[in-house]
A = this chain, B = another copy of it.
Amino acid sequence: MGFKEQGGESEKGLIEAVNEQAGELIHLLRCSRAPDSVLAEATAHLQAAMSSLAPYLEQGEGWSVASIASDTPGLGWLENDLTHCMPYSPVSGRRNPVAPSIRMWRDGGEVRGEALFSATYAGPPNSVHGGVIAAVFDELLSMANVISGAAGFTGTLTVKYHRHTPLQQPIELWAVNDRNTGRKQFSRAEMRVDGEVTASAEGLFILPASASDEP
């Protein structure tokens, strides 16, 4: 990785700001109990925003965590901001309003991070949705592979839920790439609250054939 970003710093800031605001709007839509007249008013504003953006919609192929379309490469990862290489990720991307609030950074050979899940991501009462937890683990394990040199495609993901992972509290994220065998990458990850593990995961990831010297 390590592509050069298109556009200047100010544009990047505005894109991420509008996505962050969309996240707040999502929270309000998820968590407000508004009467019809207010919903209609909100709808009109949403439609106006959509009309502004629609002419700039990119079409075609190549959509990925790293790009808006095939002609926009991703950005390189930063030691203190690993998600920087996947700006459009639905799990951690700051240019994708569906992503929860997640930070990840490199700490030697390990990935550390922090997540905060709003009610948007609720599953059981007062707890993060099990599916959202699994999604975050997939990204976290991938990041452990990224800092070890390369990221493969997920082959198998196993998530264990030890206890409820709470909403609206900082969740510590941790992951490490254990070992690589040929094209296979094995990684482990945990979510912790006050040092106690709430969920853990193991992943087997497969490197594309061209990225390895073994067949």
Show the binding face of A for B, using Cβ within 8 Å.
10-11, 14-15, 17-19, 21-22, 24-26, 28-36, 38-43, 45-50, 52-54, 56-58, 61-65, 67-70, 72, 88-91, 95-98, 119-127, 129-132, 134-139, 142, 153-161, 164, 167
Chain B CB within 10 A, most for which of A17, A98, A137: A98
Kindly identify which residue among B36, B89, B156 contacts A123, using a CB–CB cutoff of 8 Å. B89
Asked if B45 and A131 make an inter-chain contact with CB atoms under 8 angstroms apart, the answer reads no
How far, in whole Å, are A164 and B70 apart by their CA atoms in the complex?
17
- Is B46 touching A25 in the complex (CB atoms < 8 A)? yes
Q: Which residue of A11, A18, A127 has the most chain B CB atoms within 10 A of its CB atom?
A: A18
Would A161 and B154 count as touching, CB distance under 8 A?
A: yes
**Would A14 and B30 count as touching, CB distance under 8 A?**
no
How many angstroms from the CA of A157 to the CA of B131 in the assembled complex? 9
Contact of A24 among B50, B91, B156 (CB under 8 A): B50
Q: List 21 A-B contacts (CB under 8 A).
A: A25-B50, A28-B49, A28-B54, A30-B97, A34-B53, A35-B56, A41-B49, A46-B46, A63-B125, A63-B126, A64-B124, A89-B123, A91-B129, A91-B132, A130-B142, A131-B136, A134-B138, A154-B161, A156-B159, A156-B160, A158-B159
Q: Which residues of B contact A52 (CB under 8 A)?
A: 34, 38, 41-42, 45
Q: What is the copy number of this chain in the assembly?
A: 2
Residues of B within 8 A of A119 (CB): 63
Q: A21-B47, A28-B54, A31-B68 are in contact. Are A90 and B153 (CB under 8 A)?
A: no
A129 contacts across to B, CB distance below 8 A? 65, 89-91, 135, 138
Nearest CB of B to A23, in Å? 9
- Most chain B CB within a 10 A radius of its CB, from A10, A38, A54, A135: A135
Tell which of A28, A54, A139 has the most Cβ of chain B within 10 Å: A28
